């Protein structure tokens, strides 16, 4: 009888260890999942704000053009002929370093590419870095830290149909601001809006 009781005790201990291990694995998986969800939420919020910042920068350029009596869609350069171009990919940011004595910098992305296969290729052309003040910038100097975020904007015509015929809305452009990041998978946030010459609408 004593041997039988000893075997029962060993089996009970093993079952208890097995149940405790299952519980421990479940708790670990729950904690890991929570950490990953928190990280995704943080990156998603940052990406949304970066995309929104680009849209606000374009609106500020348009409003500055009104103030300076320029055409509403003029680029913030000295040449009056430089207008927002459709189908062209741009980097846009505030001139934090006052390099050109302008408030907003537009830079064409010469060699544009997008997608997971381009993360270490053409997407480097519009990768954001963190400077010494922890501000996002395209100026990726040796003292700056490359981030996992890539941002661009693009303008397109506003197209609509009338009586089955395709038409273009005058004095208006569709603005797409997109932020991509890769962290445990490929993610992106895209915001679309219409930028108009509201003085002529």
Per-residue pLDDT reduced to its tens digit, 143-173: 899 999 999 999 999 998 888 888 888 889 9
Is 125 among the domain residues?
yes
Is 60 among the domain residues?
yes
Residue 153 burial (10 A CB sphere; 0-12, 13-18, 19+): buried
Number of domains into which the chain is organized: 1
User: The pTM is what?
Assistant: 0.80
For 69-87, write each residue's pLDDT tens digit: 888 998 876 555 688 999 9
Domain that includes residue 24, residue range: 2-196
Is 132 among the domain residues?
yes
Is 191 among the domain residues?
yes
Please list the residues that pair with 182 across neighbouring strands: 186
Q: What is the pLDDT, as a whole number, of residue 1?
A: 47
Q: How many CB atoms lie within 10 A of CB 3?
A: 7
Is 80 among the domain residues?
yes
Is 201 among the domain residues?
no
For 9-55, write each residue's pLDDT tens digit: 778 888 888 888 888 888 888 888 887 788 889 999 999 999 999 99
């Amino acid at each position: 009888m004593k041997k039988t009781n000893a075997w029962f005790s060993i089996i009970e201990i093993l079952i208890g260890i097995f149940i405790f291990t299952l519980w421990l694995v479940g708790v670990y998986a729950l904690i890991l999942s929570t950490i990953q969800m928190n990280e995704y939420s943080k990156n998603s919020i940052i990406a949304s704000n970066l995309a929104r910042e680009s849209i606000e920068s374009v609106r500020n350029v348009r409003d500055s053009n009104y103030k300076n009596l320029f055409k509403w869609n003029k680029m913030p350069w000295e040449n009056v002929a430089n207008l927002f171009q459709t189908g062209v990919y741009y980097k846009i940011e505030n001139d934090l370093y006052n390099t050109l004595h302008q408030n907003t910098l537009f830079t064409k992305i010469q060699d544009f590419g997008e997608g997971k296969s381009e993360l270490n290729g053409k997407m480097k052309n519009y990768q954001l870095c963190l400077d010494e003040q922890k501000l996002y910038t395209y100026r990726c100097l040796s003292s700056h830290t490359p981030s996992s975020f890539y941002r661009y904007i693009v303008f397109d015509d506003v197209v609509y149909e009338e009586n089955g015929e395709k038409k273009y809305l005058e004095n208006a452009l569709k603005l797409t601001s997109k932020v991509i990041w890769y962290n445990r998978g490929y993610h992106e946030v895209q915001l679309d809006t219409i930028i108009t010459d509201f003085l002529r609408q």
